[in-house]
Amino acid sequence: MTAPAIPSALRPRRPLAARVLPSSLFYGWWITLGCGLVLLVCVGIGFYVLPIFLGPLQDEHGWSNLAVSGATGLYFSVSGLTSATIGPIVDRRGPIGFLAAGTVLLGLSLAAVGLVSELWQLYLVYVVMAVAFSMASNVGTTSIMTRWWIHRRAQAMSVAFSFISVGGAVFAPIGTGLIESGGISRAAPVLGTVVVAVALPVTLVVLVWDPAQMGLQPDNGTAPAPRRFHVDLASQYRTWTRAQAARTRPFWAMMIGFMVVLLCQVGFLAHQVAFLTERFDSAAVGATAIGTAAIGSAVARLVVGTFADNVDKRLLTVILVLAQAASVFALVLTDNLLANYALVLVFGFTMGNIFMMQSLLVGEIFGIPSFGSIFGITAAASQVAGGVGPVLVGALESWSGGYTTPFVVTAAMTALASLVLLEARPLS
């Protein structure tokens, strides 16, 4: 394997961590751990706390479910548009600057949620927070991981992405406890401080965009044993423009398929706390459900990561999507507490892996040099659609008087999306 040339905009880099950490371990694993820690706080808080804020924002300010859901929807839409904007820049200049600036801005905007008193202020803060969230997480970390790993990409990403679920399992109950003891005005600044305190030092001291900057190669220069399914090495260094990618069937299969899946997934996640709190008349049940889904997501990612490099990622994605649709539909049909926890756990199994599979499919089909550009636009579409999800579910809940109709609709849409994703085949 021959390492690609260092991008002209970047110079060789040897971060402080590389000077003190054991050199006997390939630095790609320290990169994996570093990306995981950034995701732990930036996504573990920036994603999982939004459902926790939904009810208290209504209660503290007298705003409607639809009004607050609209802010959540705007958050995901703006985050997606930001991903599309920064993707090509990341391909040219790398993501470290975006990660550092986004981390600081995310922490500040999270803290500001505790200061809002008018609905327009909430929308403004959520817009800023959405831009910061996109800068500090998705495109940047996946761009780094895609460059450091090729043949063991799924295994490494499963480790890094599992930190997201751990973040959700840890910070959802912490956030709930802080809100119960002092309201959002106490919870939001504390959570914002945690984001900056953890992610900023890791970004500056540990992360390196491209292994070539350290004189290293992806996978430490090792090739896998022959297997039925593998990543074509030559395709990994092909450069694509967005226009070229848009003329392929896999591009649109991923674009449309993940748009629908994320719309339904985020719509469910944004309302599951309210749904379960209402069903069992207990806020603790809703918060525990978030932690349960997060734990399931972490465990399932690690399990899937052990074999995903050796299987057809397209078919694996379809299976996960169908399982997600089935778990939501079954949740509507039963109100037994233990059964509900079990189904939320199944949803968690699929949730994190679907997010990871989107990155893996883009990396496998469109390769490394254009990953930020292609993943940025597909992630943007998914996140914009995800922004519609909470609004759609909120509107259907208001119209129907309950969550049965919106969740049945989203489960059916998710199942249909699996048929579209069947067309996301690697290009020959």
Q: Would residue 11 count as lying in a domain?
A: no
Report the interhelical angle of 96-113 vs 184-205 (nearest 10°).
170
CB 211 within 8 A of CB 217: yes
Q: Using 50, 70 and 90 to split pLDDT, how confident is the model at 349?
A: confident
Domain holding 111, by residue range, is: 24-210+240-421
What is the predicted pLDDT for the residue at 1?
45
Question: What is the number of structural domains in the chain?
Answer: 1
Q: Would residue 134 count as lying in a domain?
A: yes
Q: Using 50, 70 and 90 to split pLDDT, how confident is the model at 246?
A: very high
Q: What is the mean pLDDT of residues 410-424?
A: 94
Q: Using 50, 70 and 90 to split pLDDT, how confident is the model at 229?
A: low
- Cα dist. 322→18, 104, 155, 331, 382 in Å? 42, 38, 22, 14, 18
Q: What is the mean pLDDT of residues 392-398?
A: 87
Q: Using 50, 70 and 90 to split pLDDT, how confident is the model at 222?
A: confident
Q: What is the mean pLDDT of residues 66-71?
A: 82
Q: Would residue 218 count as lying in a domain?
A: no
Q: Please name the residue that has the structure tokens 């008018």.
A: 118
Tokens of 225: 């044993």
Q: Would residue 428 count as lying in a domain?
A: no
What is the predicted pLDDT for the residue at 31?
96
Q: Please name the residue that has the structure tokens 């200049």.
A: 93
Q: Would residue 427 count as lying in a domain?
A: no
Q: What is the mean pLDDT of residues 43-72?
A: 83
- In the predicted structure, residue 398 carries a pLDDT above the cut 90: no
Q: Is 231 left (phi over 0), alpha (psi -120 to 50) or beta?
A: beta
Considering only CA atoms, give the Rg of the chain.
20
CB 201 within 8 A of CB 15: no
Q: What CATH number does the domain containing 38 carry?
A: 1.20.1250.20
- In the predicted structure, residue 194 carries a pLDDT above the cut 60: yes
Q: Would residue 320 count as lying in a domain?
A: yes
Q: Using 50, 70 and 90 to split pLDDT, how confident is the model at 428?
A: low
First-to-last C-alpha distance (Å) of the chain: 20
Q: Would residue 17 count as lying in a domain?
A: no
Q: Using 50, 70 and 90 to split pLDDT, how confident is the model at 203?
A: very high
- Cα dist. 74→259, 274, 395 in Å? 15, 19, 15
Q: Would residue 51 count as lying in a domain?
A: yes
Q: Using the 8-state DSSP alphabet, how is residue 5 labeled? A: P
Question: Nearest 5°: phi and psi at 149?
Answer: -135, 140
Q: Which helix (H) or strand (E) holds 132?
A: helix 119-136
CB 116 within 8 A of CB 51: no
